[in-house]
Structure 1
Amino acid sequence: MSGNFLTIPGDDPIQRRSRHSSKSSKIADGSVNQMRMRRRQRRLNASCAEAGRRRAKSSSLSDLISSFDTKAQAHSELQKVTAFSGHFDKNHKPTFSKEEYGKPIPGSKTEHRGAEAQARVCTEMKELCEIINEYGKTPCKSLLPPELQSATKVISFGELFTIYTVISDKLVGILLRTRKHQLTFFEGEVLFQKRDDDVPVFLMQPIDDIRTYCNNKALQARRSVSPMPN
């Protein structure tokens, strides 16, 4: 036999080199394709991220414009009902909800002044009760009806009027408020000087409880003020 016995038929070295070269070429082509796909994917991701940023920026700008328009419209409506503005419209009729009717604009100076006035009234109520507690006498419980058994002090309206007018001229108004809050009690719808000088005025709670109650009411009034609008 001629030739190399160990040579496998059909396994020519040239063919082997050709197969190896073809296989290497396929691997190289696959790597190139993968790199291209990765680049394409990165470009796509970057494009999506940029589009998202643009949408977010556009949405933020739209929100700012909408917020500005809302505040501008509210300011325009306020100027129409403000008598001292240059845009006052006497024919303009503002609309209010049931909760807003009869109340100042939230956060306005009017609301702030109203809250401070309520706090001052609570302070004056406390001061009046302190005067009754200081100058009044301890009532005889056996002579009092059941509804007045909790009274701690009593003073005549005439004596109270003489003492309190040195401090304030609003005795009757403050006295009516203290009765409304069940801090004092007296008979009659309203009291008049001279005519009702002998009417007894009762202090219905211990003075420490009254101080705590009035202080809490004053603090609550101040805290009820809405924050100033931006």
Structure 2
Amino acid sequence: MRVVILTGAGISAESGLGTFRDEDGLWTRYPLEEVATPQGWARDPARVLEFYNARRAQAAAARPNAAHAALARLEARLDGQVLIVTQNVDALHEAAGARNVIHMHGRLDGALCAICDHRWPAPGTMAPADPCPSCGAPATRPDVVWFGEMPYRMDEILMALGQADLFVSIGTSGEVYPAAGFVEEAAAQGVRTLELNLEASRGSRLFDEARQGPATRIVPEWVAEMLAL
């Protein structure tokens, strides 16, 4: 069985990483348009890097939870049949042992040159004057996808969706496109769909089945069912 799994912020919330919808946390101190858009970067790169330096430190201290571990077990057992597509910029899937992961929004531990597109491992602290190791330009930015930018590896993701037998959405609000449209894309190809979320998302009605509860409970339960088939 070929399975495509989309994960969002909800799967990492129980590891201590908040979402931009949380009432307390980093996002409440930094307006979205100032730190997660190309326009915000152009206006004040120092403020943007300050925000991502804090997020990078927070993510580095986080540990994978039972939901991450369960998906890694599923991937190991269904060798070559599971693709995890994550909207998250942390590396908790990999820390739990998952290997076939696409970070459609990039990763906090990566740096990107805004001039030549060179990529390299991000240092703990980034500053606007940091030179690119390739071209030397002082244009270092996080290797993450901001609002208004195109997510990474979309062709691969859409191809995998079309070839899947099951699409599972875990811990995502279903409000940010293009990921919010994956369920419709999968359904149009005749793929069975399942949502696992803390509470019903706005798009829950589009799924063949939806289950609610904490990710650390419902994801391991679903994986146990899959491994018993």
**Fold shared per TM-score above 0.5:** no
Q: TM-score, normalised by structure 1?
A: 0.25
Q: Which has more strand, going by share of residues?
A: 2
> Greater Rg, structure 1 or structure 2?
1
Higher-helix-fraction structure: 1
